[in-house]
Amino acid sequence: MKYTPFKFETLKNKPFPVSIVLILLVIIVNIFNIGFNGLLFNTLSLNLTQIILNAEYWRLLSYPFVFNTWESGILFSIVFSISLPNLERFLGRSLYVILLLFSILFALSLTIIFISNPIIFGGLEGISFFILTLSWLLKFRNKLFPNKPIYFFTEVLSLFVWLCFKSFVLLNSGIMVVLPSIVISILGIGSAFLVYLQINHIMKKNIRKSKEIQAKKNKIQADSILEEISMAMYANEKFRSLLSNELSPKGTQNTINLNDDFHNEEILNTILDKINTYGKDSLTKEEVLFLEEYSRSL
């Protein structure tokens, strides 16, 4: 095997995946949060009381970066390392604008839903379910992403772990503890379906346009072929004779009439035009005979 030295130019041509940056950022933030006994969680989490009373609106943006449960961290790490890179390659960097908008939307939705019972929430459960659902829809319905069994098994396993943890907390602490996670997960799944429908509509529209463009190209090619066929057909003597008869004035005969000079001139002009356009070889026997008779009558 021939050895090919590594070139740094190859890295310049490939955009660095933002998903890796996000994963590293979230890991670093949560390591510091654990080291400082939850100080970052208290500062960055979605605390509805602090948002409403103290106008700490940055929490609408910062809450996804801190986790308050291990299962949400496990789900995040699996989804962001497996599913998110596929979506990033498909949708480009605009994907992260979508994630940011939906993250804020989820936070506002939780604020409205639990306004009478303020909660403290953190983590990327809503975004994780959004990414996972959208990725699966594009993978299994549109066949856009490679379906590797080991990746699919890992994603399903992370979902199973998440459900087991939530079920355990539900049985021991009550519905209100897990309700925010359930609500934001449902919001993530529903939003993914809406985005998928929009993407699917755009894809079908583009496919329809490409088919129309291809049909126009095929028509142009067909027209050029017809032109070639027409030239080949005109080279045929029988077809040329048939064409000459079609071009002759309807209801007139190519015979000279000694008593009707206007009729003779009309036929003569038609024959001369035909000679100028198609050549002398295109004349029929009747037209040649007419020219001979006309020349003798002069």
Query: Using one digit for the tens of pLDDT, what is the confidence trace for 77-88?
Result: 899 888 888 888
Q: How many domains does the chain have?
A: 2
Is the sign of the CA dihedral 8, 13, 18, 20 positive or negative? negative
Q: What is the pLDDT of residue 129?
A: 94
Judge whether 51 lies within some domain. yes
Judge whether 190 lies within some domain. yes
Confidence band of 244 (pLDDT split at 50, 70, 90): low
Instruction: Tell whether 153 and 38 lie within a shared domain.
Output: yes
Among 206, 237, 259, the domain-final residue is 206
Instruction: Tell whether 132 and 49 lie within a shared domain.
Output: yes
Among 206, 241, 265, the domain-final residue is 206
Q: What is the pLDDT of residue 192?
A: 93
Average pLDDT over residues 198-213: 81
Judge whether 201 lies within some domain. yes
Q: Rounded to whole angstroms, how far apart are CA atoms 286 and 279? A: 16
Query: Using one digit for the tens of pLDDT, what is the confidence trace for 219-229?
Result: 665 555 555 55
Q: What is the pLDDT of residue 12?
A: 44
Instruction: Tell whether 198 and 260 lie within a shared domain.
Output: no
Judge whether 237 lies within some domain. no
Judge whether 8 lies within some domain. no
Q: What is the pLDDT of residue 16?
A: 62
| Structural contact between residues 120 and 47, judged by C-beta atoms closer than 8 angstroms | yes
Judge whether 20 lies within some domain. yes
Q: Which two tokens stand for residue 9?
A: 């130019």
Q: What is the pLDDT of residue 5?
A: 43
Print the domain residue range for 30. 15-206
48: amino acid identity, one letter: L
What are the counts of helices (DSSP H) followed by strands (DSSP E) for the chain?
Answer: 13, 2
Domain CATH number, residue 151: 1.20.1540.10
Instruction: Tell whether 202 and 260 lie within a shared domain.
Output: no
